[in-house]
Amino acid sequence: MGGFDFNVIERSIGYLFREGMTFTLTLTGLAALGGIIFGTILAMMRLSSHKWLSLPATGYVNLMRSIPLLLVIFWFYFLVPYIGAWIVGAPTPIQVGAVASSVITFTMFEAAYYSEIMRAGIQSIARGQVWAGYALGLNYWQTMGKVVLPQAFRNMIPILLTQTIILFQDTSLVYVLSITDFLGAASKIAQRDGRLVEMYLFAALVYFIVSFTLSYVVKLLQQKIAIIR
């Protein structure tokens, strides 16, 4: 082990976490929040009896789930400025920036996966609950908002969290946009100091610890929810 220098970790740890991990967690949080909200809307659209609502939602989800995430990241980064310009009618592409672009991309992409989870959650609620809501005089939105979605969400929390752990790992793909996320930061130090093995080992360890801890939390939650039911 004489050739290795693990001090590089100690020297760079502040930078790795202050810059890198902060961005990784921010991106994960924003994309999870946005993805769950947008995903829930998509799930409600897919379950609608109106074809003009369910078909676009189904198409969107299937499209997103059939394309590699890396490709979507590229696409959005290069396309969003043009689409933005087209929407507001600007003559030149609107500079969105790598960070904003990555947040939008991950939100849109993850929404497809969250929507499948929420769809299963909504379908798991007994028909009678909807009837009971309607029978009280609640309209569709009130029945959804007060009766169905709170229960669907509660039942699906473990799976939503599991998907968020995957999202947490997937955010490392933003390196293709030269964003300094945790892996990006580790990579930069590794190249600068020529300590590739040490840094990549350390990065793997950090991803492992965070993901494993969260998985454990999911397991505890699952047991708790099983009791409530």
* Stretch of residues binding other proteins (CB under 8 A), selected from 5-13, 75-83, 107-115, 131-139: 131-139
Rounded CA gap, 68 and 176, in Å? 14
Residue 157 contacts other proteins per CB under 8 A: no
Residue 139 contacts other proteins per CB under 8 A: yes
* Stretch of residues binding other proteins (CB under 8 A), selected from 2-10, 84-92, 137-145, 169-177: 137-145
DSSP 120-177: HHHHTS-HHHHHHHHHTT--HHHIIIIIIHHHHHHHHHHHHHHHHHHHHHHGGGGGGG
Residue 126 contacts other proteins per CB under 8 A: yes
For residue 94, give the H/E element and its range: none
Of positions 135, 176, 197, 217, contacts other proteins by CB under 8 A: 135
Rounded CA gap, 149 and 110, in Å? 19
Of positions 154, 192, 219, 224, contacts other proteins by CB under 8 A: 154
Of positions 17, 74, 134, 207, contacts other proteins by CB under 8 A: 134
Least separation in angstroms between CB 155 and other proteins: 10
Residue 221 contacts other proteins per CB under 8 A: no
Residue 217 contacts other proteins per CB under 8 A: no
Rounded CA gap, 146 and 138, in Å? 9
Residue 222 contacts other proteins per CB under 8 A: no
Of positions 22, 151, 162, 169, contacts other proteins by CB under 8 A: 151
Rounded CA gap, 91 and 113, in Å? 35
Considering CB under 8 A, how many residues would be counted as binding other proteins? 20
* Stretch of residues binding other proteins (CB under 8 A), selected from 27-35, 100-108, 144-152, 206-214: 144-152
Tokens of 128: 């009678």
Rounded CA gap, 157 and 121, in Å? 10
Residue 114 makes CB contacts below 8 A (sequence gap 6+) with 35, 36, 38, 39, 40, 160, 163
Residue 7 contacts other proteins per CB under 8 A: no
Helix (H, G, I), strand (E, B) or coil at 65: helix
Residue 17 contacts other proteins per CB under 8 A: no
Residue 69 contacts other proteins per CB under 8 A: no
Helix (H, G, I), strand (E, B) or coil at 2: coil
Residues found near other proteins in the complex (CB under 8 A): 126, 128-129, 131-139, 142, 146-147, 150-151, 154, 228-229
